[in-house]
A and B are shown apart, each in its own frame.
Chain A
């Protein structure tokens, strides 16, 4: 995780778990003593966005950037200019939590100058339990569409296959198989396997990719 590039762009199909991954990744980095900024660039969905947890994350020392209009429910596609600070200030580790699909990725366009080869990572979040990303071809289609719009390249895959709190080891292994097939076809490395903390002890020890334990920040206790 510490070897990832300073700017990490988190993309994927909507509903694949980008925001939970981003938040957990940010928390982990902050725990390792890094100076972390998390920019929520989601201008597509108005619910379940990482900025909803800004207070909690700021308590952990993470700088959270969302819209310059300070209300979680605002329905205008505005992103704070503050994003430029951690993009330019190399003392920050920056995570860009991008909205779903190519529509969400459009928000990346204005930052294209910062996506210089070798200076950023762009992680594709893959959830094999989402109807639209269950085959290699469909995953490649989403990846290409998002790359085209963002004018940046995917540098790593994340197997984030889950069924929320009902996730089983089988779900994760099915996603792992799909992610490895995508890796073989594209040469893009499977970098992370993200899974609920409670499931991790049951996972095989030889899984490819670093395991990122997930704590559900965005789901209330009464949710599945």
Chain B
């Protein structure tokens, strides 16, 4: 199929349906409302169900129920709505259920703004809900990559029985870009023999639950969860890097910010600067090892985000004190420009060449 032009939010819906998602529970919020609109229009055509819940809290619990019965299911929201879903996400992670959660981030805290941001990095990677749980978090930087990650993300969720999050910013949700729907490579997945599909009197009941009355049992459950997270860390890290082996400065950035950084890098190259880029595609598991490949003579790492400095904690963990770590960010719904990157980088490197 040839390329067509799609808005990020529409492309999410199209990708999910192609991945076999047939259930969507959500509640509208800018800047992701085109996604529920798309699902409301398109899911009934393929025998699926779109349901606008009475709130985000209800929506995530509908996802919990549908996932428990073995369905491919998703929800989406934007930052304040995602905060409301945190309790349900913790339950879903605790009950080990697969689902896809999309957060098209906007400015915060609180009701914030409707313009793009990346201010939910902590919430996505550190757990906005209670308990020792993890989400696999993807941060696509263009609409095509978002489509590909959604299709793979549903498989990853099923494979590990764990919620997967797509963390995009408002820009990627609202932006029009060319997209191609290729025949996706699908993973070998086990039967969902744990799902509550009815016993027909022929097997033991399956129970979906995150409550453990006995602390010994809950400890064992947590040990098992951690073993699963270790496996995800081994297998599922995704990262793009550019020119880090001989860079004098490396930018660490994800999503839309990484694209703006790339434009800055290309301009700086024309002036003789060697600037590298590490772009985490998975925010969790984080690509810590990639930072070990940075040129030992690199002068600094610059973390750039559309927030006031959240991923910078992971960058500091990753560089193990070997390089000074700087930060540049815009927030409140403002996006950085390539010129701002260039100015900051020149300042860090000590002026013009």
Contact = CB atoms under 8 A, between A and B. Distances in A.
Interface in B239-264: 259-260, 262-263
Given A73-B113, A162-B5, A164-B177, 11 more contacts: A73-B333, A75-B114, A127-B5, A129-B4, A131-B6, A134-B4, A164-B176, A166-B3, A166-B178, A222-B260, A222-B338
Given A46-B30, A47-B174, A222-B263, A131 B4 contact: yes
B299 interface: no
B142 A73 contact: no
Interface in B254-292: 259-260, 262-263
30 contacts: A14-B7, A15-B6, A15-B10, A15-B176, A45-B174, A46-B30, A46-B31, A46-B174, A47-B115, A47-B170, A73-B114, A75-B30, A75-B114, A127-B5, A129-B5, A129-B178, A130-B4, A131-B5, A131-B10, A163-B178, A164-B176, A164-B178, A166-B3, A220-B337, A221-B338, A222-B260, A222-B262, A224-B142, A224-B177, A224-B178
A202 to B, nearest CB: 19
A48 interface: yes
A223 interface: yes
B231 interface: no
B143 to A, nearest CB: 8
A156 B75 CA distance: 40
A44 to B, nearest CB: 9
Interface residues of B, number: 27
B175 interface: yes
Contacts of A222: 259-260, 262-263, 338
A223 B174 CA distance: 12
Given A15-B176, A164-B5, A224-B142, A73 B338 contact: no
Contacts of A129: 3-5, 178
B5 A163 contact: yes
Interface in A158-181: 162-164, 166
Interface string B314-353: 0000000000000000000100011000000000000000
Tell me the interface secondary structure of chain A in the complex: loop
Interface string A10-50: 00001100000000000000000000000000000111100
Nearest to B3: A163
Tell me the interface secondary structure of chain B in the complex: mixed
Nearest to B337: A220
Contacts of A73: 113-115, 333
Question: Which of the listed residues B171, B178, B259 has the most CB atoms from chain A within 10 Å of its own CB?
Answer: B178
Interface of B: 3-7, 10, 14, 30-31, 113-115, 142, 170-171, 174-178, 259-260, 262-263, 333, 337-338
What are the nearest 7 A-B pairs in CB distance? A47-B174, A222-B263, A129-B5, A163-B178, A222-B260, A131-B4, A15-B176
A45 B33 CA distance: 10
A154 to B, nearest CB: 21
A48 B174 CA distance: 8
Contacts of B113: 73
A48 to B, nearest CB: 7
Contacts of B142: 224
Interface in A113-163: 127, 129-131, 134, 162-163
Question: Which of the listed residues B5, B30, B263, B337 has the most CB atoms from chain A within 10 Å of its own CB?
Answer: B5
Nearest to A101: B37
Question: Which of the listed residues A47, A75, A163 has the most CB atoms from chain B within 10 Å of its own CB?
Answer: A47
Contacts of B338: 221-222
B5 A223 contact: no
Interface in A43-82: 45-48, 73, 75
A148 B84 CA distance: 39
Contacts of A75: 30, 114
Contacts of B333: 73
Contacts of A166: 3, 178
A160 to B, nearest CB: 11
Given A129-B5, A162-B5, A164-B176, A46 B114 contact: yes
Question: Which of the listed residues B6, B142, B170 has the most CB atoms from chain A within 10 Å of its own CB?
Answer: B6
A104 to B, nearest CB: 13
B17 to A, nearest CB: 12
A11 to B, nearest CB: 17
B5 A130 contact: yes
A215 to B, nearest CB: 17
A15 B5 contact: yes
Contacts of B171: 47
A13 B174 CA distance: 15
Interface in A184-224: 220-224
Nearest to B5: A129
Contacts of A224: 142, 177-178
Contacts of B5: 15, 127, 129-131, 162-164
Contacts of A163: 3, 5, 178
B146 to A, nearest CB: 13
A73 B5 CA distance: 24
B352 to A, nearest CB: 22
Contacts of B7: 14-15
Contacts of A220: 260, 337
B175 A223 contact: yes
